Structure 1
Amino acid sequence: MGFSEVKRITGETEIQLSLSLYGTGKSQISTGCGFLDHMLTLFAKHGRFDLTVACKGDTYVDDHHSVEDVGICLGMAFAQALGSCAGIARYGHIILPMDEALILTAVDISGRGHLEFDLQIPTEKVGTFDTELVEEFFIAFTRKSNVTLHMKQIAGKNSHHIIEGVFKAVARSLNMAVAIQDAYRDEIPSTKGVL
């Protein structure tokens, strides 16, 4: 439990990804999309996840396939690394400030992939990155990780700060949720006995 590797090849992308849930925040990220590289580096650091991502995608078309498929692979890796979920806290949440932006995220490692996305990103792009892809990334991640994720923008007018705040907040919330509870190390955190 705690480590996984994913390799996924389609007609649009070729991705190799490894994830350690109980790491130190080390990362080596190369997606072909500089802004996504930056966000995943932040994600690894703030979640204390060790993460490597190598993606070759059709970015000559646009970044959509690469961003979505990296989200798919990260979600798959997350689910695999969790295994049975025995001993985890299951829930995590944070209200995170990023300069003028204030972001709330809450996570339930429920076995049911669901995203509540309540962000008002004011610009269509940050540099060359299409900001609509933030939602696409997290839809892909939640579907494949079987995690329920709520994100809400409480304040903020700078698109970069809002998005950066979200990636940091999601990482912090996930870090709390995957934390092993020593007193419950062999228990599944559900009355059903399975997540």
Structure 2
Amino acid sequence: MEKRVSEKIRNTKETKIKVKIDLDGSGKSNICTGIGFFDHMLDLFAFHSKCDLQVKADGDLNVCDHHTIEDIGITLGLAVKEALSDKVGINRYGTFHVPMDETLAFASLDISNRPYLVFDCDFKREKVGEMSTEMTEEFFRSFAFNAGITLHLKVLYGSNDHHKIEALFKAFGHAFKEAKHVNEENGLPSTKGTLNL
């Protein structure tokens, strides 16, 4: 099987982002975004998806965290899309529930080249650490639309915003692990004959 690896660079006046991902790694990560809690979330995604992930970001955090987190979502999405290549053999679909103390989160996704996000979670706090809670949805939207993935995320119940966000990232990682997995019996998992159009 060809290596499913991609490296993407995105430079604007607001951010400088470099992402490298190996879809068939072991869950190792090296993340430096300048936003500690977000670094932790990307570490969790890498670990639970069993992708090797490197992210280096230099953003205008003196303004706020919006541009940095959104642009990482864009760049990571583009890297994932390239690494998936023709998608032959992938499971395509992945669904997972993650409990974290009082919280239960759910992620379901389709690697379909039909980008969409359904995000169902309310937060009570403005920030967790230095990460704005509203940027959780923005990250997943920019990722899904640039990766070409249909992504549904929901917190079924919970009260602690830290737990909600962490459970969402873990569920997302596990669902992606399931969907990206290659089984030769799958062939190209689409009656259209392509997952790139």
**Range of TM-score over shorter length:** over 0.9
> What are the residue-to-residue correspondences of 1:30-179 with 2, within 5 Å?
30-179=32-181
Deviation at 1:157, TM superposition (A): 0.4
TM-score by length of 2: 0.96
Q: Are the aligned partners of 2:14 and 2:67 in contact in 1 as well (CA < 8 Å)?
A: yes
1:122 & 1:155 partners in 2: Cα distance?
Answer: 13
Answer yes or no: is 1:193 the counterpart of 2:187.
no
Q: Is the 8 A contact 2:7 2:18 kept in 1?
A: yes
Cα shift at 1:128: 2.6
RMSD of aligned residue pairs (Cα, Å): 0.8
Structure 1 stretches of 5 or more lacking a match? none
Q: TM-score, normalised by structure 1?
A: 0.97
Q: What's the offset of the Cα at 1:124?
A: 1.5
Question: Which position in structure 1 is the counterpart of 2:28?
Answer: 26
Tell me how far apart the structure 2 counterparts of residues 99 and 75 of structure 1 sit (CA, whole Å): 30
- The structural deviation recorded for 1:152 is 1.0
Shift of residue 122, structure 1, vs aligned partner? 2.0
CA deviation vs aligned residue, 1:133-174 (integer Å, no higher than 9, x gap): 001101100010000000111111000000000001001000
For 2:153 and 2:123, the matched residues in 1 are separated by: 13
1:99-153: CA deviations, max 9, x gaps?
A: 1110011010011110000011221111232100001101100010000000111
Please give the secondary structure, in 2, of the residue aligned with 1:23.
Answer: coil
Runs ≥4 residues deviating over 2 A = none
CA distance in 2, matches of 1:65, 1:165: 23
Instruction: Give me the whole-angstrom Cα distance separating, in 2, the residues matched to 1:182 and 1:99.
Output: 38
What is the distance in 1 between the residues matched to 2:156 and 2:18?
35
Amino acid at match of 2:145: R
Is this contact kept in 1: 2:77–2:147, CA < 8 A? yes
| Structure 2 gap segments, 5+ residues each | none
